[in-house]
Amino acid sequence: MAKLGAWMPYRRARGFLAEFFPIGDDVPEVETIRQRTLRVGASLERDAVSPTTSSAPVPPARAMTVSIDGGHVRSAHGYQGRTFEAFAALVGNDNGQEVVFSSVPAEARKQQRQLGGVLQGLGMTQKTPVTVLSDGAAGPRTFGEAASEQPVRHVLDWFHLAMRIQHVAQCVKSWPDTTAEDRQIGADVADHVEHIHWRLWHGQVRRAPDLIGQTLSRLNVLARMKSTTAGVASKMMHPLVALETYVAGLADLIIDYATARRCEEPFSTSPIERAVQWLLHRRMAAQQQMRWSPRGAHLMLKVRTSIVNDTFDRDHAAAERWGRRPFRKAA
């Protein structure tokens, strides 16, 4: 029942049970399914923070990667703020093993120990280098760094950097082409944006800001002229300034992504993006028309994460049993 409650909305899970199982009038109520799912989630978290004595030694990993992304969930009425943040991390080692971890930081119980247990379960030692991929925000970086046994290497995810470049490129597509001069200016600006993209892809954090500054200077001149290009030039300056600020603030996290790709090193959080899509958006997005308490969302994530990792049935059968409603034997 907890698995159904994590897969689909509670009312749909109740309808599924009533339709396909001959249980008659004993179909559990929506609140029963919800409470049982959350109880299982709480049991899963207790198992994660409790000390374990594993007899099988884990081979030490030569390198590990933690890809972190987050999302926002609509909060229920009565809670401060319209939304709250949830994090998801994809932990992988050099042997290709991957484990998903997720939580709502405000409600997590010993979050550092839980994530550290995932890292150790994949072979982290005091000598294992750990790379943390994120969008550069302080929250995800701290989230990944706290569980490591040594200082980690932070890398700015290429996907988030490329999206900011794409915003600038979209503005160039709306450049007027009424005259030959406008077409030539638009081609020059598009060429500059392409060169900015190339320099950032190759990790040239000093040359790329110089080219961004030159492009901004030219756009500033065009925006002050009384011509058909003034409006587009002024509109294009906003995402370009945002890109300049983003690159300047996170220059220490930008790497040579071209070399990383050739050497098959991690440089993008696209795998965890897919996990976030399933963990958060398909069950807790605005399309579901549901509002969540931070605690309820956190426990739901625990159940859905164990399903993603394909460990729910094998490792947490006892947690589901303890999550069932207690009963009293008849006299």
**Percent of the chain clearing pLDDT 90 (strictly above):** 22
**Cα distances (angstroms) measured from residue 124 to each of 58, 63, 101, 238:** 9, 8, 16, 43
Q: Which of 107, 66, 101, 99 is nearest to 87 (CA)?
A: 101
- Residue 225 has a pLDDT of 84
Lowest-confidence region among 54-63, 153-162, 178-187:
54-63
- Residue 294 has a pLDDT of 87
- Residue 191 has a pLDDT of 94
Query: Is the pLDDT score of 331 beyond 60?
Result: no
- Residue 327 has a pLDDT of 43
Domain ranges of the chain: 159-253
Upper half-sphere CA count for residue 35 (Cβ side, 13 Å): 8
- Residue 322 has a pLDDT of 47
The pLDDT of 130-155, averaged and rounded, is 82
Query: Is the pLDDT score of 71 beyond 90?
Result: no
Residue type at position 281: H
Summarised one tens digit per residue, pLDDT across range 265-319 is 888 887 787 778 778 877 776 566 678 888 888 888 898 888 888 888 765 565 5
Summarised one tens digit per residue, pLDDT across range 190-248 is 999 999 999 999 999 999 999 999 999 999 998 888 777 888 889 999 999 999 999 99
Q: State the Cα–Cα distance between residues 196 and 209, nearest whole angstrom.
A: 8
Q: How far apart are the first and last CA of the chain?
A: 28
Going by pLDDT thresholds of 50, 70 and 90, the confidence category of residue 24 is low
- Residue 54 has a pLDDT of 55
Query: Is the pLDDT score of 255 beyond 60?
Result: yes
User: Are the CB atoms for 254 and 243 separated by under 8 Å?
Assistant: no
The pLDDT of 105-111, averaged and rounded, is 82
Q: What is the mean pLDDT of the chain?
A: 83
The pLDDT of 166-170, averaged and rounded, is 92
- Residue 205 has a pLDDT of 92
Name the CATH code of domain 159-253 (choices 1.10.3470, 1.25.40, 1.20.1440, 3.40.50). Answer: 1.20.1440
